[in-house]
Structure 1
Amino acid sequence: MTQTIYINGRFLTHPVTGVQRYGLELIQALDDLSSRKAEGFEHYEFIVLTPKVELPALNLSVIRIKQVGALKGHLWEQLELPVHAFRHLLLNPCNTAPLFKRKQAVTLHDAAVYAVPDTYSRLFRLWYKIMFPALGLLSQQILTCSTFSKDQLIRYCGIPSSKMRVIPHGREHVLRAAADHEVLKKHGLDKPFVLAVSSMSPNKNFGSIVKAIQHLNVENVDFVIAGGSNPKLFQEQGELPDSVKYLGYVEEEELRALYEHAACFVFPSFYEGFGFPPLEAMTCGCPVIASHTASIPEVCGEAAIYCDPYDWRDIASKIQRVLEDPDLQDQMRARGFEQSSKFSWERCAKETFAAITADPRTHEIPINNASRSETG
């Protein structure tokens, strides 16, 4: 007899950031495993429930998308989603879920609203600080992406450790897009360059990158900031050298090419539940300089050179060290390939499936799922 697992697809109505990337890749990997009838999957079907709005094309083989209800947003998720999921298991991949459904698993990616509250609006903080402890108390299982995030969620939300399972994300998404090397010509990147991926969040600590750039003693090197950056944010730090180039938003194909050609990638973030960018950079063969804080050492292992995000002088020192040592760059590329190979979306999907189909009373994985647990 086939059992149905519903997936909360509300995230499909949002722009794609790291959390939405996880949801998309998890569904694609579950679909692939289901279509191949991987061990245990032949006994289950997955159905994604979404509001009745326009959705991106997912190109799924066997997982169905079912648009239900008359509401949208939080009201749809809290009032209509649990009705349509009814007595079935509901998997919520992107931080939010109906508060009063017990037969569900929820992926909480971090505890940033507690640890770095200034990153979020007051209303956003209030809602998440209500929701996270409630979900931790009432839901059958809580998944998260790093041991760091697990410890943070236990600390701030009081979620029992016995309810939690750490399942790292994957990395193959960055390799699906063919590298568009024209981005180098378009922006005149004909010299070695240091790459950073920007956002508006102060948590990303790009002010320290700017200070490090201003005090580096290197010549014939460009500094590239890609992503949704606002030049005014950096200009507030003072006069910048002409070697700093803002590319703004870049397509996935362009980002892959930047990773592949950069002398190194700098990621001095203060707080990350997982941290996709350094994993993507390592996957593309780019040496990584990253913060020694939060979950980042879990992701980068021994492949990265670590810096103190609170000390721009240390960031500058680490950048200079890598730029001046081509042999070190080669060693870091090799270690990065090895480290990033430990992460895959198939593994993430298998471990998620094993976790959510385990006995909710004991969290023991059934015999027919046992082989999947060996990947953890």
Structure 2
Amino acid sequence: MMEPEVFVNCRFLEKEITGVQRYSLEITRELKTLYPAVTCLAPDQILHPDLCEELDAKVIGRHTGHLWEQLDLPVYLRSKGSPVLLNMGNSGPMFYGNSIVVIHDIAYERYPDAFSLQYRLLYRIMVPRLLRSAKAIVTVSEFSKSELVARFNLSPDDVSVVHNAVRGVFRNQTAESTERYILAVSSINRQKNFHSLIQAFNRLRDVEVKLYIVGGFNRIFTDPVLKAEVTGNPNIVFKGRVSDGELISLYSNALCFVFPSFYEGFGLPPIEAQSCGCPVVASNAASLPEICADSVVYCDPGSVDDIAQKISMLLEHDELRQELVRKGFANSRRFSWSRSAQKMYSIARAMIDENSGMVRS
């Protein structure tokens, strides 16, 4: 008997491939490899035609963005008998019930100033509606699960956790280099706490290192105090967006990776760093203690002094760095895109069986 089709909402191909989009892409890749009955659906105007071709995505509809997701996508699915739809990017058609929805976090509620008014209003309408209509709810960590349960009055039994992971290309590529630098990687939003990291770096004394920051950084210059902190120190270097190859090299050759975020649903960059053999200083907030366990040095994200102290600790103690490298490799292996995709498909398969009244042994 042929497996019933599961459809994947590939609207994420309209956007830059960052955290949420990376999750959607990697699980979709694994699903396509493991289960031939998975079909990808995408709007016509996308940023990544190469990925659309790789995923063998079927282009449908005439709209883009939210209109495509709310109009074209459910209309097409109903014409196919309303099969299971997997939405992995914090959004989905609000009035299509036979769906799985993945909500990565509720940062728009916890740190509203980091988002536009339009974005906040949209997600405050859309997310509760999606959670009510979806047959299965998924998130990326036990922390995010607790956030969803508390904020939306959900039963813990109704929320599954399917983790992020790191792609196999993220492996140590140490090169002979005279550069000594600390690395930070993320979008530069307020909750990512780069302002405290920069202030902490400026407090380091008698240390000849640079701070490399990877990611979009336009917002950082809207704060005049922070702008002064940055422009006054030539050892702070903004790399902007870099290729995967450049990022792997930066991780592999950094003295340490620092991630002082106030709020993460999962927190993928520390795990990427660990996969490349880079020791990590991470915030003790939100999901990070769950995801990083005992494999990092933790800092208080609310204390510039503590962040600076923990960075100094790693810079001054080679044995500690080597211990964290070993623990980091082990920690990163806890997460696998293949295992996550299998768990996601098992959720879809259970929905199919429930719809047909079957009980699988």
TM-score for the superposition, normalised by structure 2: 0.90
Opposite residue 22 of structure 2, the aligned amino acid is: R
Contact 2:85 2:98 in 1 (8 A): yes
Report the CA distance shift for 1:53/1:173 in structure 2 as closer, same or farther (over 3 A): farther
Q: 1:124 to 1:180 in 2, by over 3 A?
A: farther
Quote the residue 1:135 is aligned against. Answer: 130
1:114 and 1:59, CA in 2 relative to 1: closer, same or farther beyond 3 A?
Answer: closer
Q: Say yes or no: does 1:95 pair with 2:83.
A: no
**Paired letter, 2:27:** L
Alpha-carbon deviation of 1:34? 2.5
- Cα distance change of structure 1 residues 251 and 366 upon mapping to structure 2, 3 Å threshold: farther
Supply the AA of the counterpart residue of 1:214. N
Aligned partner of 2:198 in structure 1 is: 210
Q: How does 1:159-198 map to 2 (within 5 A)?
A: 159-172=154-167, 174-175=169-170, 190-198=178-186
- Give the corresponding residue for 2:213: 225
Write out per-residue CA displacement over residues 103-157 of structure 1, whole angstroms, 9 at most, x where no aligned residue: 1001111011111111111111111011111111111001100011111111222
Number of aligned residue pairs: give it: 351
Letter in 1 for 2:239: L
Aligned CA-pair RMSD: 2.5
In structure 1, how many angstroms separate the alpha carbons of the residues matched to 2:289 and 2:153?
24
Aligned identity (percent) is 38
Match of 1:41 in 2: none
- 2:205 is paired with a residue whose SS is coil
Distance 1:366 1:289, change over 3 A: farther
Query: 1:349-364 counterparts in 2 under 5 A?
Result: 349-359=341-351
The residue that corresponds to 1:56 in the other structure is 49
Corresponding residue to 2:312 among 313, 317, 320: 320
Aligned to 1:28: 29
Q: Which residue of 2 aligns with 1:252?
A: 244
Aligned equivalents of 1:50 and 1:252: distance in 2?
24
Letter in 2 for 1:201: N
- 1:31 maps to a residue whose letter is K
Segments of structure 2 that go 5 or more residues without pairing to the other structure are: none
Alpha-carbon offset, residue 310 of structure 1: 0.5
8 Å Cα contact 1:179-1:254 kept in structure 2: no
Please report how far the alpha carbon of residue 49 of structure 1 lies from its aligned counterpart in structure 2 after TM superposition.
1.1
Shift of residue 173, structure 1, vs aligned partner: 5.2
Shift of 1:239: 5.8
Distance in structure 2 (CA, Å) of the matches to 1:198 and 1:88: 36
Please say which of residues 21-30 and 219-228 is displaced more in the overlay: 219-228
Deviation of the 1:335 alpha carbon? 0.1
Unmatched 5+ stretches in structure 1: 36-44, 369-376
Structure 1 residues 231-240 or 318-327, which shifts more?
231-240
CA distance in 2, matches of 1:197, 1:48: 30
